[in-house]
Amino acid sequence: MKTYLVNEDGFYGEFGGAFVPEILHKCVEELKDTYLEVLQSEDFKQEFNSLLRDYVGRPSPLYLAKRLSAQYGCKIYLKREDLNHTGAHKINNTIGQILLARRMGKKRIIAETGAGQHGVATATVCALMNMECVVYMGKTDVERQHANVQKMRMLGATVSPVTSGNMTLKDATNEAIRDWCCHPADTYYIIGSTVGPHPYPDMVARLQSVISEEIKKQLLDQEGRDYPDYLIACVGGGSNAAGTIYHYIDDERVKIVLAEAGGKGVNSGFSAATIQLGKMGIIHGACTLVMQDEDGQIVEPYSISAGLDYPGIGPIHANLATEHRATVLAINDDEALKAAFELTRIEGIIPALESAHALGALSKLKFKPEDVIVLTVSGRGDKDMDTYIHEMEKNKEDGNEKL
């Protein structure tokens, strides 16, 4: 049977694989030889599931948003990852990977972070498990994401500012890889999304698949059938989307909609719409769609949402898009902002800007009244309040009192 999940060689169609420098080959091989056995062991599952329940607060609710449903003429359920401890889905993955790191006998954890969300999720589980934690973060991001830097420090992590390149996420990732090369024996690298060399994309997708596992049960309870007509999620690297679709990926009754960040417009030169703008290339150890110029140099992505501006995309999604299994929509900054205010005003839920891109997809789709939609709210909007406040002030100046 055709599957959109990873094959034995670590590929999704033409995408994926592990393209790493020789010095990391052994680390990646070690991980590849270990992760499935550990993730499938009873001992791991027990510890993982009890932490997800008692520490993260899972299962996250599947909430029937009645007013939002009325607005779009269908039945919309929100999968509330925003209610997790630390405010997003990222904690599902960091808990899983730190449990794996411990079982592999690693003593030291490193991570990359852009906006700081993955850094905070990693620093959180390192505090929980009493492990040394170094987070690489571009200097530009350190300066503009001060609150998250302070959280990581309070949690006991060392935040290491990176001054190469544009001093943003891609440079932080390069630095984390460099660190891993220097300390292959005792260090575990926690990657924050379905990116990087195989087995990371598959491992992160499996750890996040708790999202769709819960959706199945909750839909059966609430709707009498365990599948929706549509699944909608935003994609940066693609981990909340991969978790949302995991158990439905080969079920063609379920339409998959991925919302990527259009920025100021796909062709404006300020965009992070990697699937639409990217060409096949290699980034951070994986073959995938990459935003690059004619010389193969990576083009700096832009989005109002810090969690979505990665110049690559998880290979699983590159393949879903190429095979037309998923519909990919680019949602621009202004559309995401509008959707964030809409959800806030009609459901009383302030979403993360990333999640607002998934919400922005609703107005671009045509639904039937009986359609059941599950949309993942990947995180809460607390971290984005400055942007939202700025938007309200701008609208006030424009005489639009409604916002």
Q: Active-site residue numbers?
A: 90, 112, 378
Task: Give the containing element (helix H, strand E) for 282.
Answer: strand 279-283
Q: Which is nearer to ligand PLP, 58 or 90 (CB)?
A: 90
**Crossing angle for the helix pair 117-129 and 90-103, to the nearest 10 degrees:** 40
Integer-rounded Cα radius of gyration of the chain: 20
Site string (191-230) toward ligand PLP, x via CB under 6 A:
--x-------------------------------------
- Give Cα 98 to chain centroid, integer Å: 18
Give SS3 for 25.
helix
**Which of positions 64-83 make contact with ligand PLP (CB under 6 A)?**
none
Q: How many CB atoms lie within 10 A of CB 102?
A: 17
- The reply on whether position 90 binds ligand PLP by CB under 6 A is yes
CB 204 within 8 A of CB 118: no
- The reply on whether position 355 binds ligand PLP by CB under 6 A is yes
Site string (1-40) toward ligand PLP, x via CB under 6 A:
----------------------------------------
Q: Which is nearer to ligand PLP, 17 or 114 (CB)?
A: 114
Least distance to ligand PLP, CB of residue 272, Å: 11
Q: Which is nearer to ligand PLP, 10 or 351 (CB)?
A: 351
Q: Residue 92 and residue 84: Cα distance in Å, rounded?
A: 9
Q: Which is nearer to ligand PLP, 162 or 235 (CB)?
A: 235
Q: How many CB atoms lie within 10 A of CB 388?
A: 18
Q: What are the residue ranges of helices labelled H in 262-330?
A: 274-277, 315-322
With CB under 6 A as the contact rule, the residue among 97, 140, 218, 239 that binds ligand PLP is: 239
Contacts with 20 (C-beta within 8 Å, 6 or more apart), sequence order = 28, 197, 285
Least distance to ligand PLP, CB of residue 93, Å: 8
Contacts with 128 (C-beta within 8 Å, 6 or more apart), sequence order = 55, 98
- The reply on whether position 342 binds ligand PLP by CB under 6 A is no
**DSSP of 155-214:** TTPEEEEE-STTSSHHHHHHHHHHHHHH-TTTEEEE--SS-SSTTHHHHHHHHHTHHHHH
By CB under 6 A, how many residues form the interface with ligand PLP?
A: 19
Q: How many CB atoms lie within 10 A of CB 276?
A: 16
Q: Residue 144 and residue 148: Cα distance in Å, rounded?
A: 10
- The reply on whether position 88 binds ligand PLP by CB under 6 A is yes
- The reply on whether position 97 binds ligand PLP by CB under 6 A is no
- The reply on whether position 84 binds ligand PLP by CB under 6 A is no
With CB under 6 A as the contact rule, the residue among 10, 138, 238, 315 that binds ligand PLP is: 238
With CB under 6 A as the contact rule, the residue among 352, 356, 361, 375 that binds ligand PLP is: 352
- The reply on whether position 307 binds ligand PLP by CB under 6 A is yes
- The reply on whether position 378 binds ligand PLP by CB under 6 A is yes
Span interacting with ligand PLP, options 22-30, 217-225, 276-284, 351-359, rule CB under 6 A? 351-359
With CB under 6 A as the contact rule, the residue among 171, 260, 354, 384 that binds ligand PLP is: 354
Span interacting with ligand PLP, options 103-111, 236-244, 273-281, 292-300, rule CB under 6 A? 236-244
Work out the angle at residue 111's Cα, subtended by the Cα atoms of residues 106 and 112, and round it to the nearest 5 degrees.
160
- The reply on whether position 379 binds ligand PLP by CB under 6 A is yes
* β-strands 279-283, 286-290 pairing: antiparallel
Q: Which is nearer to ligand PLP, 37 or 386 (CB)?
A: 386
With CB under 6 A as the contact rule, the residue among 235, 258, 331, 350 that binds ligand PLP is: 235
CB 208 within 8 A of CB 246: yes
- Chain residues in the site for ligand PLP (CB under 6 A): 88, 90, 117, 193, 234-241, 307-308, 352, 354-355, 378-379
